[in-house]
């Protein structure tokens, strides 16, 4: 079972229990992108490195430094040091999931570091944003991040790090479609011969998004980049987090033995920095994996240690999670009396303090324990409670059934009243027989008329549907289901006319599948057809409702985007390119991948006809092909003087 954290990411939990406790949220790369902005002040980088090894120890050192500066005069140099220390403090609080304290420290630092070009200011903006989880707050933080980005040089490290922060926030908004675009752009922008903190931060964010999309191979590959980075930099605490998260991904796929290996490594690292809570969570997940594998002796010891740790910290939710696992072990180990005692303690408040959706299964587990001890009366009571709670989930259905019974009662009463009326009418039937006969004939005539009308309506409907089918066949591509060239040209012509009349923007792109003939030759025409169909499906996911993607001929497609500026058009094509990367080829296509090239043109006063606009886009497509494919090129070079986003897109 998966549950969402405040950051919108999914964390696997036990099959019986509740969302993972608060401290497990620390096992997420929530503050990763903040640290990718280098702080140039004094020994601050060494403190940031200490946060990655031992956040609690770093907090103590930072507080000592802040206390020493409390009486210092307010001068720019001292303020810069204070702001840098507050940034480290916010980062450490964030790793420890003390989000309120993290936001407070970041706000104090922003009051001291106000220069939008100062790395400390940008670091604090990211740290504050990445410790916000409510919907309204996320929207505000995205705006704040974008304001900070607007002051940076496009493609710079600062711009890339802020882009990662935006991707993290978008994922928390359950907008994986936007997050994957932002994080993929950051991942590519930070790629190079030397691995950087920004590249690893973007990999961390992408790993979470891929896991949420159930793309476990990609999530594992990106997670490995985090592990390699943490290992090479001696970041013990961060490495324990990365290994723990790898175990969670593997456990979610059912690879319990591999998950145990990762959890065991995470446990060793947590023990090395005296992170007892980290040890407890690792033991709990190792115990759970052993239970799933039926390996009970080791599981008992691990769950017992986790139970000891969480009992000492008074973490009630996690204590009960460990207790239920212990009860499962006892029950499978032939110790029903111990399992029963544990479950009685878990259900001490009749499930009022537990997640309602999971309480029923606990009663069922306790019923099994009672039955094995021949306490059949108690087992029956627990099964009855299990049935009651299960039935509560179907309360709406029972209400509908009760409503149906009431309706049936009213119908029976109506039938009885009708029977009474029939008896009264029978007494006057002889007197009104001639009238009844006349009414019968009238009814026959009316019925015949209704039949004729119904038949005419049927013919009209069938004729309309037949005409619709003919129109569809005449305007739709048979392979991809997209509009064919004729329909796409009609739509584009109408859109061009509206743009000319209203002054609204219009963008048009010619898209060509790269190396399509090679794919056909090596993988077969069936694989080529599959690529075209999947491309059409990707278009329906990536594009706006107002856009039209039509097959222009062979492996070429026409994309018409009414009301779209060049910036919007480039964003559309970037989303489409990202989705196209996921189209898989058969084994015979090893070494090949699916990609596209595109040429974009926008409507302006010099465009006289659709042919002019198509010719511009086609020329830009030719340039993209000559420049190496898997590219988007813009028809008019004058657009280079456009917005920051457009210039950045052209450089990419």
**Same domain for 521 and 468:** no
Q: Taking Cα atoms as reference points, which of 159, 118, 158, 125 lies closest to residue 143?
A: 125
Mean pLDDT estimate for the chain: 81
Identify whether 136 is part of a domain: yes
Parallel, antiparallel or unpaired: strands 506-513 and 556-562: antiparallel
In a domain, 234, yes or no: no
Query: Which of the two residues, 34 and 461, has the higher pLDDT score?
Result: 461
Please report the pLDDT score of residue 20 as a whole number. Answer: 38
Using the predicted structure, report yes or no on whether residue 493 has a pLDDT greater than 90: yes
CB 52 within 8 A of CB 230: yes
| Rounded Cα gap, residues 152 and 398, in angstroms | 60
53 φ, ψ to 5°? -95, -45
167 and 36, same domain (yes or no): yes
471 and 489 fall within a common domain: no
- pLDDT digits 0-9 by tens, 377-388: 988 888 888 888
Q: Does residue 302 belong to any structural domain of this protein?
A: no
- The pair of structure tokens assigned to 102 is 């993290």
Q: Does residue 501 lie in a domain region?
A: yes
* pLDDT tens digits along 357-381: 667 778 888 888 888 888 889 888 8
pLDDT band at 598 (very low <50, low <70, confident <90, very high): very high
Task: Give pLDDT, residue 256.
Answer: 93
Give the whole-angstrom CA distance, residue 494 versus residue 345.
71
If asked whether residues 196 and 64 sit together in one domain, one would say: yes
- Does residue 565 sit in the same domain as residue 521? yes
DSSP track, 239-255: HHHHHHHHHHHHHHTT-
Residue 266 maps to a domain: no
Q: Are residues 537 and 459 in the same domain?
A: no
Out of 188, 213, 238, pick the residue that ends a domain: 213
Is it the case that residue 255 has pLDDT exceeding 50? yes
Specify the DSSP element, H or E, that contains 263: helix 256-272
Rounded mean pLDDT, 130-144: 89
Q: What is the 3-state secondary structure (H, E, C) of 56-113?
A: HHHHHHHHHHHHHHCCCCCCHHHHHHHHHHHHHHHHHHHHCCCHHHHHHHHHHHHHHC
- pLDDT at 3 exceeding the cut of 60: no
Q: Is 609 left (phi over 0), alpha (psi -120 to 50) or beta?
A: beta
Of 475, 502, 528, the domain-final residue? 475
> Alpha-carbon torsion 233, 236, 240, 245, what sign?
negative
> Does any domain span residue 390?
no
Of the candidate ranges 111-115, 499-503, 537-541, 641-645, the one whose mean pLDDT is the lowest: 641-645
Q: Is the pLDDT of residue 647 over 70?
A: no
Residue 63 has φ and ψ, to the nearest 5°, of: -65, -35
Q: Name the pLDDT band for 492 (thresholds 50, 70, 90).
A: very high
pLDDT of residue 504 exceeding 50, the answer is yes
* Helices within 274-375 (DSSP H only): 276-293, 296-312, 316-332, 336-346, 356-372
Q: List Cβ<8 Å contacts ≥24 apart for 113-117.
A: 113/79, 113/80, 113/83, 116/148, 116/151, 117/151, 117/152
Q: What is the pLDDT of residues 291-347, one digit of tens each?
A: 889 888 888 888 888 888 888 877 777 888 888 888 888 888 888 898 888 888 888
Check residue 421 and give its pLDDT: 59
Confidence of residue 556 (pLDDT cuts 50, 70, 90): very high
Higher pLDDT, 498 or 357: 498
**So what's the pLDDT on residue 262?**
93
The arithmetic mean of pLDDT across residues 7-14, rounded, is 32
Q: Is the pLDDT of residue 37 over 80?
A: no
3-state secondary structure 218-243: HHHHHHHHHHHHHHHCCCHHHHHHHH
| Domain match, 562 and 629 both | yes
- Does residue 583 lie in a domain region? yes
For residues 575 and 552, membership in a common domain is answered with yes
Q: What is the CATH number of the domain that holds 69?
A: 1.25.40.10
Q: Report the range of poorest mean pLDDT among 234-238, 243-247, 398-402, 413-417.
A: 398-402
Model confidence at 606: pLDDT above 70: yes
Q: Are residues 450 and 554 in the same domain?
A: no
Task: Quote the CA–CA distance of 237 and 92 in Å, as a whole number.
Answer: 11
Regarding whether 149 and 51 lie in a shared domain, the answer is: yes
- Residue 589 is predicted with a pLDDT of 80
Please check whether residues 504 and 460 belong to one and the same domain. Answer: no
Please say which residue of 213, 241, 264 terminates a domain.
Answer: 213
Q: What sign has the CA pseudo-torsion 55, 58, 60, 63? A: negative
CATH number at residue 576: 3.30.70.270
Q: Mean pLDDT throughout 446-469?
A: 74
Q: Do residues 71 and 208 share a domain?
A: yes
* For range 20-42, the mean pLDDT: 51
Q: Which domain holds residue 604?
A: 485-651
3 state DSSP class of 543: coil
Which long-range contacts does 112-115 make (Cβ < 8 Å, 24+ apart)? 112/79, 112/80, 112/82, 112/83, 112/86, 113/79, 113/80, 113/83
Number of domains in the chain: 3
Find the farthest-apart pair of alpha carbons in the chain and give their distance in angstroms, rounded: 115
| 447 pLDDT above the threshold of 70 | yes
Q: What is the pLDDT of residue 453?
A: 81
Asked if residue 154 is part of any domain, the answer here is yes
pLDDT for res 416: 58
pLDDT digits (tens, 9 = 90+) for 180-199: 888 988 898 888 888 888 89
- The tokens for 584 are 């898989």
Indicate whether 17 pLDDT > 50.
no
């Amino acid at each position: 079972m998966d549950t969402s954290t405040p950051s919108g990411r999914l964390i696997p939990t036990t099959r019986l229990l509740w969302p993972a406790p608060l401290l497990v949220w620390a096992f997420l790369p929530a503050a990763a992108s903040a640290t990718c902005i280098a702080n140039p002040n004094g020994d601050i980088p060494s403190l940031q490195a200490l946060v990655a090894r031992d956040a609690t120890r770093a907090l103590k050192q930072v507080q000592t430094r802040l206390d020493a500066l409390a009486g210092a005069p307010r001068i720019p140099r001292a303020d810069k040091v204070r702001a840098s220390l507050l940034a480290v403090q916010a980062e450490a609080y964030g790793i420890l999931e003390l989000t309120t304290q993290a936001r407070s420290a970041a706000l104090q630092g922003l009051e001291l570091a106000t220069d939008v070009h100062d790395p400390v200011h940008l670091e604090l903006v990211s740290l504050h944003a990445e410790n916000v989880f409510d919907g309204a707050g996320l929207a505000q933080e995205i705006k704040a991040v974008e304001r900070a980005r607007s002051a940076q040089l496009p493609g710079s490290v600062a711009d890339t790090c802020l882009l990662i922060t935006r991707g993290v926030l978008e994922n928390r908004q359950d907008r994986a479609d936007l997050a994957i675009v932002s994080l993929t752009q950051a991942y590519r922008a930070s790629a190079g011969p030397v691995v950087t903190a920004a590249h690893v931060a973007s990999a961390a964010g992408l790993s979470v998004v891929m896991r949420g999309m159930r793309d476990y191979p990609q999530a594992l590959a990106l997670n490995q980049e985090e592990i390699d980075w943490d290992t090479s930099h001696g970041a013990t605490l961060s490495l324990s987090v990365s290994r723990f998260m790898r175990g969670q991904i593997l456990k979610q796929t059912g690879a319990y033995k591999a998950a145990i290996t990762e959890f065991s490594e995470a446990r060793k690292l947590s023990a090395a920095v005296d992170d007892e809570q980290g040890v407890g969570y690792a033991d709990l997940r190792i115990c759970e994996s052993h239970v799933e594998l039926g390996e009970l002796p080791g599981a008992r010891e691990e769950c017992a240690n986790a139970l000891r740790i969480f009992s000492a910290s008074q973490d009630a939710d996690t204590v009960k999670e460990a207790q239920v696992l212990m009860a499962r072990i006892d029950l499978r180990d032939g110790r029903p009396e111990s399992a029963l005692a544990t479950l009685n303690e878990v259900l001490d408040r009749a499930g009022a303090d537990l997640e309602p959706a999971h309480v029923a299964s606990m009663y069922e587990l306790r019923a099994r324990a009672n039955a094995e001890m021949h306490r059949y009366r108690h087992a029956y009571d627990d099964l009855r409670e299990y049935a009651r709670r299960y039935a509560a989930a179907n309360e709406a259905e029972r209400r509908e059934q009760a409503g149906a019974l009431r309706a049936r009662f009213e119908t029976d009463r109506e039938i009885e009243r009708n029977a009474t009326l029939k008896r009264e009418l029978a007494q006057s039937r002889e007197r009104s027989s001639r009238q009844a006969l006349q009414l019968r004939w009238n009814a026959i005539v009316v019925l015949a008329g209704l039949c004729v009308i119904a038949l005419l309506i049927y013919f009209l409907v069938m004729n309309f549907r037949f005409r619709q089918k003919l129109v569809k066949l005449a305007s739709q591509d048979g392979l991809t289901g997209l509009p064919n060239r004729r329909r796409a040209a009609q739509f584009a012509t109408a859109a061009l006319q509206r743009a000319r009349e209203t002054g609204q923007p219009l963008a048009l792109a010619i898209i060509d599948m790269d190396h399509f003939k090679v794919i056909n030759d090596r993988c077969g025409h069936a694989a080529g057809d599959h690529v075209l169909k999947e491309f059409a499906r990707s278009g329906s996911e990536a594009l706006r409702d107002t856009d039209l993607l039509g097959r222009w001929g062979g492996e070429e497609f026409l994309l018409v985007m009414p009301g779209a500026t060049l910036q919007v058009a480039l964003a559309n094509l970037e989303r489409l390119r990202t989705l196209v990367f996921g189209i898989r080829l058969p084994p015979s296509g090893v070494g090949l991948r699916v990609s596209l090239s595109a040429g974009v043109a926008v409507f302006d006063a010099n465009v006289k006809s659709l042919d002019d606009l198509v010719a511009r886009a086609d020329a830009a497509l030719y340039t993209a092909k000559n420049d190496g494919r898997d590219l988007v090129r813009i028809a008019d070079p004058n657009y280079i003087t456009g917005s920051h986003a457009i210039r950045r897109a052209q450089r990419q």
